[in-house]
Structure 1
């Protein structure tokens, strides 16, 4: 992502950093990186190896790995003084290199740190030569357009040379996400979709192909800027297109990082504004969206005698909003110099509720692909989405200070909807619940390197995509003139004639500070939505208020106590088609500010270099535990700690062999001896995992014991599994895959534990294998309840006999209740720990509701509260019957 505000603060330090020299090359591992002031910072649970450093001034963004293992990434906003071709924004690939997809970082040599000016001015790798495919502002499509440059409806390029005013980054200087959609079976030709992180935003599509020697080339004649099509313009266009995803249905998705969306700054809530009777010191940028010259609100507030100035979060991201109006066809306002004066735009103006979504191209190879936005998945400063293999679940990261990670779950697989307006689902916000994340009140602060985050997901609301867009459309006709006439006593005829624009803007600003912007959803509506939510739940709010969590996602989530305190959540990804047992990786670029202050659900030591978390997908594609696997350096650390550690994670990209590409966005910051960002490859430790399992009372089930990946092969292992509560279940047997030559097991007399020993005498387990089965345990449910299946690794060796550094992961066992009817025992069809199938026929139907109702006072129900608490309020009541009925309907 491009953080213009932060970047301006560090610009003065980069010149001094250029040319600094400390020799040394090191691969990072948990034992090799010394700790800083915060315990465990920096550290890695696995291997970390630097693949590339980028050119001076640039971030590493938009990695993509092709089917043959070749790699490309974007050269985002490099300094113009770099030698060609590294002085202009570009997308390039590494010629002569291919990942081998064996899960092992031995397939490339590590590149050293850039310890000279010549090295710092170039894109470098020890595994292949960076070759430029496309560069911003190059002519495309016959010369009528420039790559990455958005145009007005009459075909005028929207650049600062053609229009006066502010622009979010110079046009076509910020290429970010890249996604490739092949048009042939071999994956050697197709369309490259690239995000351009500007306002107006852009997504380009360029045809590229690979020759017999493995070299890629682009065809600028077969290229287009998608926002310049009528279909995209009718949607309202796009802005600040950051990272994205390639969906499981093979469509490119672009995320809008609308940094200007905060209603309130930092940790404040809308309720704070209403309680105070004023937004002074509290409001965020979006309250001034339709103000003439909106990005100047910060300097205006600082100058007004009537209020004490404060930091208006997101004000700097208002740059480019008026250029977005020109994209939509507005007449340029009368501007005498490079800065916008206060003449209001009154004919066409962008609707703020049209920006801050994920954009999908459902027919990416069509002559002109039509875009659609996931309005129903929430509005934020989206850095990245991750669509999972169930084709229903989406995780997203909202970049910036005091922001959230969110989840959306569709009612049905998303590609199954013929009309995207019909996509229906529930939007969720996170709640961090574990005491270890918030131990400051007890007089201690835990290190984020050593502390998991336990997450519960709070439902914000349920709607269809079409419903949300209809709510959005109600604000389409609001302009800058409305900002003045709504918040002053003047009418449109007065402005610029009887009343100077400056006087009207000042009066309107002070009114908005006092009572909020009445042109959009009001503060009072958000507070009322929260009150009704607390009283009656997300489905019990008035129809007119259902829009609130979808259009004002951050404000709504904060109002009901969600943990909206992540700082710069910049990455989320999992392997393509990820399913239960796979990992989702979350990149938090900086672990500071609201994560390390005295308030909120997370109060831990700060690590300015950030943290990468991973979370295992559960059977229902939920994640409930974020486990730190990479911790960056403290900014008090010196080069000896920071030079070879991952700093300020940006994009994360999970390759199909389980390794993760980690991109940096920390250019010019402290700690290192050099200013350049890099691309690192994370090789996770081997994970030995026992499958979680739900079984009925008195029944048996099987749980697989497996290794997540074996990049260096496998010769044998000795592993034990134990049941934490033997009263819940017992291990009754062990079976082994036929491929393993020598096997042995021993089950304790009470069934509380089993030890397995295996040897791969036939060398049947290949290096690079993923999810390799080691054994299958049979368990019997002896009592209703939950127990952990705990794994202990005695020894595990690779094919050379060297000990494998492996982690054990605990599984969860749920034993269901005994029969209610005297027939079959109830089952848990969706694996959520609740036993919806009371008649034991394997599905939820009306008979299950009748059984629960008729037997509600029986011991078989009352003594198994956790199995039938469908409304999850911690007790059994008739609302559980109602909730089960609603599941059927």
Structure 2
């Protein structure tokens, strides 16, 4: 026997020094935060779910009927509400008129019977399919994965990620007829191995019904097994081209816990007290690692819990699903006997999975590896078919954006999809001054992580395909595990805790990637290191200063046909850990009830400001307040009329009833002024519009102002033709402000109208630069004389550079920015990029480089005008 000596090391001291506390806890010790709760707009309760269940996977059919999942209801409820299910809110249909007056708000459930079932305003919950139901002619069970030989994974002993089939989430319907009344319902199940079930459903005179006999568990198809299957499938999206997008919510992906970085591990010369669950992925019986990291296990002096360890549950089941030989199945719990061939590759999980050809006999899955790895709750694919926003659940997580180089469906092979991955960074100081969330917008910029294709990332992932639990022992312990498994496991655990898991990407590689990134930029890193931001997305984002502090970002959605000026909604289920502490970019007052933010979509579907739209209550608020406010909003879904479904995943709050609710949020009217680009000494028009007037528009007084008249001035304005009674408009002498006063005396603007044009503002460019153009609402009244709740939105005026008159290509015309990127490629002002632009810039650099406007012509982004800018402009041509 080989002797093994344990070393006692301090775990808690390193964690405390880095500010890592308990991850994922909700505290009732919450102060009375101003503005909690706040609802900017109106909100009404449409349904409550059965006791113990979340409201998840909302979907609204074309006819206005609503469907959602009954996720993990209490087993003590009366049947059938003791079993997970998916059902339709029969008797309720949205009219898509932008108003909540189409239904009477549901009262909170008071009786025991009401609390044990789904309650619907004006209707009832018709169950379509339920957990474990026989499907596919009896060869499969709904929500249950199988091994290659057809054995249900519930037959095996081992750790689990919840009850199999008990956690249905995403639901998206792909119609197979023109009326949208029959087709396939795609449902996620949060389990390991994961599940995506395709169920035929149709609507007849009696309502919606499911054809369980012809439903299929997609996970059991060979095409899914070839990509490793899926894991912990949470919410998702339906792409603009009609394919379901499933999110793998792999909480076990963190390399380091809480706000710590891999650099902190290197500096501490140990990962004790800092490492996350990812380090122990291929450990035999991985969920038991927390039990040996101190105290009872006695490996270290004080215990610590790697973030995400609980989500290692079900990894052995994933191996059996893939065909690995099951280890000892005689008992009733996991053993530490290592699994060899067939163990799953951890880098294959935590992705967005597209179900292509969704109506085919055998749908084909594609993992969009290039969109990174995280505990993805859901993506939002924008109408440009290139931009994707990605929200990650849990504590201390990032908010991500992916932009494809071409529209995603235009790629003949999805593995050729290529684009750039970004992480959000919060930039405004007000976000870090411990202010109430209701009073603070989050200003964000997007930090580029890297550019690649699905095929490239897939090739990097494949390098780790053959790693097993045997490797964990043989790589990290000098002890012969076959002779003394206990000693070998203890030695390996200690080595991995201190120095990391060398079977996968190492700490040193991540730190070196970050160093090269800072020195050379994302495209200048060594070829071998390009994999880092795609395989270790959270760790990479942390290493270069992105804001990895978001807490339980569980919902993200916008209009299906959203355009610039519309809104993207983001649900933060709990605003506490990571977002309400004393470090980082976000330090706000704690609101355990969470916040729903919204962001106005800009050109190219970018977003730069998250504004609080719905703020939940404090944990200490009285019962009457908590009863009437949304708590822990999870999934969000924007209706065609701009209203938003808010689905609760309620935390430990003192409501008078224990049930989660489905709320309908009616946002306030947005008073919007366009952003415009204008040449010097030229004019441009900006439209002043109201997003919606549910109860009509009687009139109002509104002013528009530019902050910097040395950049642009207001020179005139006109009213929309529908407004018959008006005053002015009055432009100030300095051109900074115009005031509008108007009344719709002929009631030309009807209740329920959207995108209501009020006036046009004329602006003249004065000198190169940018200035905000803002709106002030003094009053707005509806047709009943009641004030219209409104939210003004600021635009931007961009004035271009002056003409360059010298050189052969000089025309005296004002340069333009053809692609809107802030650089003026059209140097000679002829409305296009051509060779004369390169010549003119080349000739003017030698004599006038000091007078050229750097911001306009710095094409290589090095802060000055030089000959490389000429080369960059030529390359663009």
- Structure 1-normalised TM-score? 0.92
Structure 1 partner of 2:77:
82
1:758 positional shift = 4.1
- SS at the partner of 1:789? strand
1:298-342 Cα offsets, whole Å, 9 max, x none, are 112131334532121000000001100011000100133222111
Structure-2 residue corresponding to 1:175:
168
Question: Which of 297, 301, 307 is the matching residue for 2:293?
Answer: 301
| Contact 2:24–2:394 under 8 Å retained in 1 | no
1:238 maps to: 230
User: Partners of 1:264 and 1:470 in 2: how far apart?
Assistant: 25
Tell me what 1:688 maps to.
671
Partner of 1:134: 129
Distance apart, 1:527 and its partner CA? 0.5
Alignment of 1:233-632 (within 5 A): 233-302=225-294, 303-306=297-300, 308-439=302-433, 445-489=434-478, 494-496=480-482, 499-632=483-616
Shift of 1:204: 0.6
User: Any conservation in 2 of the 1:36–1:637 contact (CA below 8 Å)?
Assistant: no
CA distance in 2, matches of 1:872, 1:437: 28
Q: Is the 8 A contact 1:280 1:308 kept in 2?
A: no
Q: CA deviation at 1:348?
A: 0.4
2:104 counterpart (109, 113, 119): 109
SS of aligned partner of 1:221: helix
SS in 2 for 1:540: coil
Deviations 1:410-462 (A, max 9, x none): 111111111112111111111111110112xxxxx211111011101110101
Aligned pair partner of 2:701 in 718, 734, 757:
718
Per-residue deviation at 1:786?
Answer: 1.3
Q: Structure 1's 874 and 360: CA in aligned 2 closer, same or farther, altered over 3 A?
A: same
1:150 touches 1:158 (CA, 8 Å); kept in 2?
yes
SS in 2 for 1:186: coil
Deviations 1:809-840 (A, max 9, x none): 11111111112233432222333433233233
Q: Does 1:659 align with 2:654?
A: no
Rounded Cα–Cα distance in structure 2 between residues aligned with 1:857 and 1:586: 50
TM-superposed CA distance for 1:291, in Å, is 0.6
* CA separation of 1:640 and 1:869: change in aligned 2, threshold 3 A: farther
Partner of 2:9: none
Q: Distance in 2 between matches of 1:254 and 1:806?
A: 36
Deviates more, 1:84-93 or 1:759-768: 759-768
Q: Aligned pair in 2 of structure 1 residues 874, 55: CA closer, same or farther (>3 Å)?
A: farther
Query: Partner of 1:701 in structure 2?
Result: 684
TM-score for both structures, normalised by structure 2: 0.93
For 1:219 and 1:10, locate their aligned partners in 2 and report how far apart those are by CA, in whole Å. 41
Structure 1 SS opposite 2:302: coil
* Aligned twin of 2:827: 838
CA-CA distance at 1:880 after TM superposition: 4.5
Unaligned stretches of 5+ in structure 2? 1-21, 805-809
Specify the SS of the correspondent of 2:320. helix
Return closer, same or farther for 1:851/1:308 CA change in 2, 3 Å cut-off.
Answer: farther
Q: How far apart in 1 are the matches of 2:834 and 2:509?
A: 39
Q: Deviations over 1:744-768 (max 9, x none)?
A: 5424244332233444445443333
Alpha carbons of structure 1 residues 51 and 350: separation in structure 2 relative to 1, 3 Å: same
For residues 501-538 of structure 1, the C-alpha deviation after alignment (integer angstroms, 9 at most, x for no partner) is 22221111111112211111111100000000011110
1:200-211 matched pairs, under 5 angstroms:
200-211=193-204
**How far, CA to CA, are the matches of 2:246 and 2:422 in structure 1?**
20
Q: 1:684 to 1:886 in 2, by over 3 A?
A: farther
Aligned partner of 1:23 in structure 2 is: none
How far has the Cα of 1:122 moved from its partner?
A: 1.2
Secondary structure of 1:207's counterpart equals strand
Aligned-partner Cα distance in 1 for 2:572–2:862 = 32
Larger mean CA deviation between 775-784 and 279-288 belongs to: 775-784
The alignment partner of 1:593 has SS state of coil
Deviation at 1:845, TM superposition (A): 4.7
Shift of 1:772: 2.0
Please say which of residues 568-577 and 843-852 is displaced more in the overlay.
Answer: 843-852
- Cα offset, 1:696, TM superposition: 1.4
1:227-263: CA deviations, max 9, x gaps? Answer: 1111111111000000101111111111000000000
Which residue in the other structure is 1:16 paired with? none
- Alpha-carbon deviations, 1:193-235, whole Å to 9, x = none? 111111100011111111246x111111221111111111111
**Deviation (angstroms), 1:577:** 2.5
- Are 1:731 and 2:724 an aligned pair? no
How many Å separate the matches in 2 of 1:221 and 1:636?
Answer: 49
> What are the superposed Cα offsets for residues 625-653 of structure 1, whole Å, 9 maximum, x if unpaired?
11011111111222122111111110011
State the 1:133 CA deviation: 1.0
CA separation in 1, counterparts of 2:803 and 2:25?
Answer: 66
3-state DSSP class of the match of 2:145? coil
Q: Would you say the 8 A contact 2:240–2:383 is kept in 1? A: yes
- TM-superposed CA distance for 1:857, in Å, is 5.8
For residue 153 of structure 2, the aligned residue among 158, 182, 193 is 158
**CA, structure 1 residues 857+221, in 2 after alignment: closer, same or farther (shift >3 Å)?**
farther
1:525, 1:872 → 2: CA distance?
Answer: 27
- Tell me the SS of whatever aligns to 1:526: helix
Q: 1:767 to 1:836 in 2, by over 3 A?
A: farther
> Match of 1:47?
42
1:864 is displaced (CA, Å) by 2.9
- Structure 2 CA distance for aligned equivalents of residues 36 and 488 of structure 1: 49
SS in structure 2 of the partner of residue 779 of structure 1: strand
| Distance change (3 Å), C-alpha of 1:710 and 1:887 | farther
Query: What residue number does 2:10 align with?
Result: none
Which shows bigger deviation, 112-121 or 511-520? 112-121
Distance 1:786 1:382 in 2: 36
Structure 1: gaps of 5 or more residues: 1-5, 14-34, 440-444
Of 750, 753, 769, which aligns to 1:785?
769
Let me know the Cα RMSD of the aligned residues.
Answer: 2.2
Offset, 1:789:
1.2
Q: Distance in 1 between matches of 2:234 and 2:52?
A: 18
Aligned-residue offset at 1:542: 0.1
Distance 2:451 2:212 in 1: 43
Query: Could you tell me which residue of structure 2 aligns to residue 26 of structure 1?
Result: none
Q: Partner of 1:595: helix, strand, or coil?
A: coil
Find the partner of 2:811 among 811, 822, 829.
822
The secondary structure found in structure 1 opposite 2:445 is strand
Number of residue pairs the alignment of both structures matches: 848
Shift of 1:553: 0.3
* Structure 1: distance between partners of 2:25 and 2:92: 37
User: Structure 2: how far apart are the matches of 1:716 and 1:145?
Assistant: 62
* Cα displacement (A) at 1:780: 1.6
Specify whether residues 151 and 709 from structure 1 end up closer, same or farther in structure 2 by C-alpha distance, changes over 3 A only: same
CA distance in 1, matches of 2:814, 2:180: 50
Residue 855 (structure 2) aligns with:
866
Partners of 1:595 and 1:170 lie apart in 2 by 31
Query: 1:675 maps to which residue?
Result: 658
Partners in 1 of 2:350 and 2:787 — Cα distance?
Answer: 48
Q: 1:765 to 1:609 in 2, by over 3 A?
A: same
